[in-house]
Structure 1
Amino acid sequence: MDESRPTPATPPAVLADHAERMEKLLDRLLSPQTLCDEIARPERLRAAMAHGLLGGGKRLRPFLVEQSAALFHANTDAVLRVGAALECVHCYSLIHDDLPAMDDDDLRRGRPTVHRAFDEATAILAGDALLTLAFDIVSSDETDLPPTRKLALVAGLSRAAGIGGMVGGQMRDLEAEKTDRPLAIRDIEMLQSMKTGALLRYACEAGAIAAGASGDERARLRRFGEIVGLSFQLADDLLDLTSDTATTGKATGKDAAANKATLPSLHGIDWTTARLRDLVVEATDLLDPFGSKADILVQTARYIAFRDR
């Protein structure tokens, strides 16, 4: 990357601006008012969905959708809605992951998890409803994109979130906790590329899809998303080793307590830090053809790799 390029606004500041706009849209999408063909919106369910969706989070995945689409000057309102759909999927997964049958967490974003604030059955239904809402948002007439792009976005989100992506990764994670044999490094990498990486990869490609980018441009952003996904998980696992609950807003040290193998626990902090640096370089090189338009994405890759929460 050309080091003479101007330095953009720091990612936390840009993320905060985007998060505020995303919060307002998500709040509108969870309005008590029913939509066409809906019968009623039970208030307790809506409140549980709001607890899991609103009031916190970096909104990183929709931010990546927006910034990837910005490379091609896409329809910003439509792109924001695509990002909102992706955030609904992400937050549904957090609600379900926190359940006693899975990760059994009491704290998320510094607040009680949904099943603690409400109850387990309501938390399950809130997650189900958020997942369904995501596809409603993308397919809605209000998401002003050509039908072929909407179809590609729905297909991509389905596969990133489903058996071959995030949900499949969670299944592998649960299986790994029940085996006495430590996972091989390649198995850890595959698990993480599914559970965490699939939605981040989709976020970067979704912006290109929404913008009608070329196949080569989509592939470049897809690979960028894969790198971001790996960086995110490495940084997350590193924080689990080195940070505390007050900083991250969620429980730390759980991987070690569960004897769960991660790449940082196997290779150490120095290896992980060096690997994160290499990934940032690769991500930067991938975006070089986009010139200065990609500066915020480059800065975001660095932020993801070396964040403190």
Structure 2
Amino acid sequence: MKDTLFESKRNWINEQLEKSVSNLNLPLELNEALIYTIEAGGKRLRPILMLSTFQAFGEVNNKVIEPAIALEMIHTYSLVHDDLPSMDDDDLRRGNPTIHKKFDEATAVLIGDGLLTYAFQIISGSSNLGAEEKVYIIHQLSKASGFEGMIAGQFMDLRGEGKELEESDLTAIHQKKTGELISASVKIGAYLGGANPPQIEALNDYAEHLGLIFQIQDDILDVKGKEEVIGKPVGSDEALNKSTYPKIIGLAGAEKKRDDCMVEAKEAYSRANIHQPELLSFIDLFGNRMF
């Protein structure tokens, strides 16, 4: 993916995020924490992925704006809660103090709760989406972020600390914790763009492999990445005694699994019978990223 294209979409998403919270009537300190959370930035990969999938079927229009913003709010909520002392207990996120360190733990919990619920308020109140579209989007986002998605994945991840997991168990954790929201990004983008059911199914397979690629590379970077690039301490997974792909199947085995998933993602993309080079670029971006 070209840097200029990536930056253009990310800047657009950042503008839309800031606009979406600018008119909220909040207590001063809560508003300060919310702005800090939004302006902390991020790669915005999931909403960019949604936009790119939508563009496989037509030009971006108002129909996809609010789903993309809601998606990023849900992702941001998950990061805020993941960093809490009762979860992963991280002090840094993208090189900056996490919300509970910058403010306090209660504020971090409330910011996360607020982002999650506001995401659904944005979708349900949209004038750009039809009733059936709202139902589809809310179903996909709530499933990905709820008990069958991120909640189960995070629970399984926490319970797996200090235990020697099987590779299949680790894959199940990552499919729920990371993969479900990535799949929702692609399915919503395809659905709103007018994809037919076989195309959505093929793109869902693509997204499932993409989620694994992202997480395997994340595990690899925890071993061989650079803190100043990835924005968090290297070796944090090992410090928590977490099961990772390099720990279970070795660094070389993890790199091979990542490469195999990249091949399978490209095959699934081909089955969708579309022409969208950006989606192919995402495979390389996720698999070769150093951040």
> Is 1:115 aligned to 2:97, yes or no?
no
Aligned-pair Cα RMSD in Å: 1.6
Query: Which residue, out of 195, 202, 227, partners 1:245?
Result: 227
Query: Which residue, out of 281, 288, 293, partners 2:270?
Result: 288
1:113-262 equivalences in 2 (<5 Å): 113-142=98-127, 144-177=128-161, 181-262=163-244
Percent of aligned positions with the same letter in both sequences? 36
For residues 74-112 of structure 1, the C-alpha deviation after alignment (integer angstroms, 9 at most, x for no partner) is 552221221110100000011111111111111001111
Mapped partners of 2:95, 2:209: distance in 1: 28
> Is 1:18 aligned to 2:9, yes or no?
yes
For residues 185-239 of structure 1, the C-alpha deviation after alignment (integer angstroms, 9 at most, x for no partner) is 1111101111111111111111012223211111111111101100000000000
Give the deviation of 1:146 after TM superposition: 2.1
CA contact (8 A) 1:200 1:225 kept: yes
Mapped partners of 2:272, 2:154: distance in 1: 35
Q: Which residue of 2 aligns with 1:305?
A: 287
Residue aligned with 2:276, SS: helix
Opposite residue 17 of structure 1, the aligned amino acid is: S
Mapped partners of 1:192, 1:271: distance in 2: 17
> Is 1:58 aligned to 2:43, yes or no?
yes
- Give unmatched runs, 5+ long, in structure 2: none
CA contact (8 A) 2:144 2:184 kept: yes
1:42-121 equivalences in 2 (<5 Å): 42-73=27-58, 75-121=60-106
Mapped partners of 1:290, 1:262: distance in 2: 31
Measured at CA, do residues 141 and 181 of structure 1 come closer, stay the same or move farther in structure 2, by a change above 3 Å? closer
Measured at CA, do residues 291 and 213 of structure 1 come closer, stay the same or move farther in structure 2, by a change above 3 Å? closer
Aligned positions, number: 291
Provide TM-score, normalisation by structure 1.
Answer: 0.90
Provide TM-score, normalisation by structure 2.
Answer: 0.95
Higher mean alpha-carbon deviation, 270-279 vs 99-108, is at: 270-279
For residues 256-300 of structure 1, the C-alpha deviation after alignment (integer angstroms, 9 at most, x for no partner) is 112211112222222222222222222222222566732111011
Could you list the structure 1 runs, at least 4 aligned residues long, displaced by more than 3 angstroms after superposition: 289-292
Mapped partners of 1:181, 1:113: distance in 2: 27
Mapped partners of 1:187, 1:141: distance in 2: 39
